[in-house]
Amino acid sequence: MIRYVVKRLVILIPTLLVVAIIMFTLMDFVPGDPAVIALGSGNHTQEEIELKRESMGLNKPYITRLGEYIGNLVFHFDFGTSIVDGTQIKTAISDRFPNTLKIAIGSILVTIIVGLPLGIRTAVRANTWEDKIALFVTLLLDCMPSFWVGLLLVLLFALKLGWFPSSGVGGLKYFVLPVIANSLGGGLAGFTRQTRASMLEVIRSDLVTMARSKGLSEREVIYGHALPNALIPIITIVGMRFGQMLGGATIIEVIFSIPGLGPYLVNGIGSQDYTVVTGGIIFIAFAFAIIMLLTDLVYAFVDPRIKAQYVARNRKGGRKDE
C-alpha cells in the first residue's frame, strides 16, 4: 500500500506544476500592465511606471519570472502578493478557505445522505412508478445551475418565509441555504442516478442471485451483499462530486455574500489583480488534487484487487507488504 501511496503522490506533483505553469502563462498574456494597476488610478509618468515594473520584477525575462514563481510556490507555498493592495495571497486564502470548505463538506454530506438511499431505493424498485418519478426529478434538477437554485432558495426561505438569513456568515443557519443550493445544483441528482446504475449492475449479478438462493432476507441481500460490491464506483463518484462542489462553492459564496474564495476571485478578476486570480485557481486545483488523492487511497483500501496487485509484486520482489 505504501508503494501505491507514493505512486499517487509522484503523479500529483507534476500535475500541479503543469497547472501552475499554465495559469502563470495565461495571466502573462492578459491585457493590462500590472505596474499601472498597482500604482492605482491617476496620471503616472512613464518613469514611475518603469520604476514600479522594476520593483515588481516585471522587466525580467518570462522564464526567470516563471522559475521564481514556481520556486516560491514549491518551497514556500507562496502564491505572491496582491498587486492591488499588496496583501499576502496565502494569508487571504487561509482566512477565506474554511468558509468554502464548510460549504463543500456540507454539500457532499447532504448529497450522500439523500442520494445514496434514494439511489439504492430506485435500483431496488427499478422500472416502477417510484423509479420513474425519481428519474424525472433528478433529470429536472440536473438542468438547474447552482446559482439559479440559490436565488430561488433566497426568494422563498429568506425573503418570503424568513427562516434563514440571505447573506453573510455566523452560526450554522447561515450555511443551510448555501449547502442545499450547492448540493442540488452541484451533483445530488447525478450522484443518485450513478448510485442507482451501480446498484443495478450488482443486483443483476450472479452474486446477488446466489445470496437470495441461500434464503437471506431482501434487506440482508441488498445491504449485506449488493451495497458493499457497489461501493467501489460510488466512492470514486463521491470524490469527484466533492471536488466539483468545492469549485461550485465559490459561485454560491458570491450569491450569499459569504467571504470565501469565490468573492476573492471575483474581486480579483474585476480589479485585474492577476496574481490573486492565479494563486486562487492554483490553490483550488491543489485542493481538488488532494481530494482525488484521498479518494484513490480510500478506493485502494476498499478494492481488494489493488491490495492483491501490490501484495503480489512485493512477494515477487521478496518483500513483505508494508
Could you tell me if 72 and 142 are in contact, meaning their C-beta atoms sit under 8 angstroms apart?
no
pTM over 0.75: yes
Locate cell 440559490: which residue?
Answer: 150
**CB-based burial, 5-34: b 16+ in 10 Å, e otherwise:** eeebeeebeeebeebbeebbeebeeeeeeb
For the record, the C-alpha cell of 105 comes out as: 463538506
Helices (H), 34-158: 34-39, 46-56, 62-76, 89-124, 129-142, 146-153
Q: Report how many domains make up the chain.
A: 2
Domain termination residue (choose one: 76, 109, 129): 76
Structural domain contains residue 129: yes
User: Domain check: are 26 and 66 in the same one?
Assistant: yes
Mean pLDDT of 254-267: 87
Structural domain contains residue 84: no
Q: For 296-312, what is each residue's pLDDT tens digit? A: 777 767 766 665 665 55
Measured between alpha carbons, how far is 285 from 274 in angstroms, rounded to an integer?
Answer: 17
Structural domain contains residue 300: no
User: Domain check: are 123 and 160 in the same one?
Assistant: yes
User: Domain check: are 114 and 65 in the same one?
Assistant: no
Better-predicted residue by pLDDT, 43 or 22: 22
Residue 321: predicted pLDDT: 46
Measured between alpha carbons, how far is 262 from 36 in angstroms, rounded to an integer?
Answer: 25
Domain termination residue (choose one: 23, 44, 76): 76
Measured between alpha carbons, how far is 205 from 226 in angstroms, rounded to an integer?
Answer: 9
User: Domain check: are 116 and 24 in the same one?
Assistant: no
Measured between alpha carbons, how far is 318 from 322 in angstroms, rounded to an integer?
Answer: 12
User: Domain check: are 14 and 112 in the same one?
Assistant: no
Mean pLDDT of 119-128: 86
Q: For 17-35, what is each residue's pLDDT tens digit? A: 888 889 888 887 877 777 7
Structural domain contains residue 265: yes
Query: How far lies 9's CA from each of 6, 18, 77, 297, in Å?
Result: 5, 15, 17, 11
Residue 322: predicted pLDDT: 45
User: Domain check: are 45 and 156 in the same one?
Assistant: no
Could you tell me if 32 and 309 are in contact, meaning their C-beta atoms sit under 8 angstroms apart?
no
Residue 315: predicted pLDDT: 58
- The proportion of the chain whose per-residue pLDDT surpasses 70, expressed as a percent, equals 91
- The proportion of the chain whose per-residue pLDDT surpasses 90, expressed as a percent, equals 2
Residue 4: predicted pLDDT: 66
CATH number for the domain that contains residue 135: 1.10.3720.10
Structural domain boundaries enclosing 72: 2-76
User: Domain check: are 72 and 107 in the same one?
Assistant: no
User: What single string gives the DSSP state of each residue in 8-43?
Assistant: HHHHHHHHHHHHHHHHHHHHHHSSS-HHHHHH-SS-
User: Domain check: are 222 and 157 in the same one?
Assistant: yes
Residue 311: predicted pLDDT: 57
